[in-house]
A = this chain, B = another copy of it.
């Protein structure tokens, strides 16, 4: 145990002594099959360099564990046709929980983050951890039954929460909008229903992970930006989700916009992005222009109705977001920026404003291959990411070796 930990910190490689008692290559083979593509034993020997006999033995183990399944035969190339097999996402399932400020989305997914059963429900996060998680547990049991799965069938549970999280322990850290949750042991409480590993992360981080896994699996450097009541982001650099030192990375909301705006922000500073381009900020600007938009929904409706003043306001908010993102692009040099959150549903004008500002203010080298796109996974991004959180760790080489052994 100590061994694995130490090595992971230092260089993240080599199997520990325990791993040596198990087939070492089964987990590695499995990683090659995880993309879902059917492959033959020959494919795998070519890809890995292992001997045919070794491949055959490990493939058989993986078939026995049902982590992979037969996928028919390829056509012959002059001799016996090779049999193929591929990842079997139905081998286990995952419970994915996405908690927002006012409602929760809970899903049971397979190992490829495909939703088997799902429910969205009003759930006020301010009711505190015990009440909220008890409700989540009850809904989850219903969904498992609906999907024909049991708690023992779960590879693990993934949870996204609207605040910073100490990832290693799964505890929220001074979350501003989650009274009563500070340092609460979320995995500890959920363990009464679910035996497997329970992973907790910030909701925007989860969304980034979900969009990445489902839509941009090969992209090493990506940002997911959520624009809603607040403005936050999840950062994937070098293929890994970045948490920062206190799990507070990705907070775009209180970065100052470059135009010297002095709108006061709830944080005490002025000119924060959240104060000028969030959902409430846009609604407030429209109210100043004389519109009757008491909340988000009304604002979005007004924009979708095509009102020119509303469109102009939304586009200008997009520019503000883009002006901050331009700095992020220079700093992180991502190849994809995904825009999500309710405000992004306002239409193309918001995205156009973002693009306009980013491409005019970032450096050519950083923007030449940069794509700025709207989320494909939309409201599901959170649960898909929570699912990915679990499979990312539960289907790692070490874990697969453990599952087989």
Contacts and interface: CB of A to CB of B under 8 A. Distances in A.
Given A220-B245, A271-B258, A16 B49 contact: yes
A13 interface: yes
A323 interface: yes
Contacts of A334: 244-245
Interface string A220-233: 11000000000001
Interface in A152-181: 164, 173-174
Contacts of A328: 331
B333 A49 contact: no
B326 A256 contact: yes
A398 interface: yes
A245 B28 contact: no
A34 interface: yes
A251 interface: yes
A51 B17 CA distance: 8
A332 B244 contact: yes
Interface string A327-363: 1101111110000000000000000000000001111
Given A2-B47, A2-B48, A164-B365, A323 B246 contact: no
B14 A13 contact: yes
B366 A248 contact: yes
Count of identical protomers in the assembly = 2
A307 interface: no
A238 B242 contact: yes
Interface string A5-21: 01101111111111010
Interface in A235-293: 235, 237-240, 242-252, 254-261, 267, 269, 271
A80 interface: no
Given A237-B249, A243-B333, 9 more contacts: A2-B46, A7-B28, A13-B28, A15-B15, A18-B49, A220-B245, A240-B240, A245-B370, A251-B330
- Going nearest first, the 3 A-B pairs with the smallest beta carbon separation are A260-B260, A244-B333, A256-B258
12 contacts: A3-B47, A3-B49, A7-B28, A13-B28, A14-B15, A17-B51, A17-B54, A20-B24, A246-B368, A256-B327, A258-B258, A324-B327
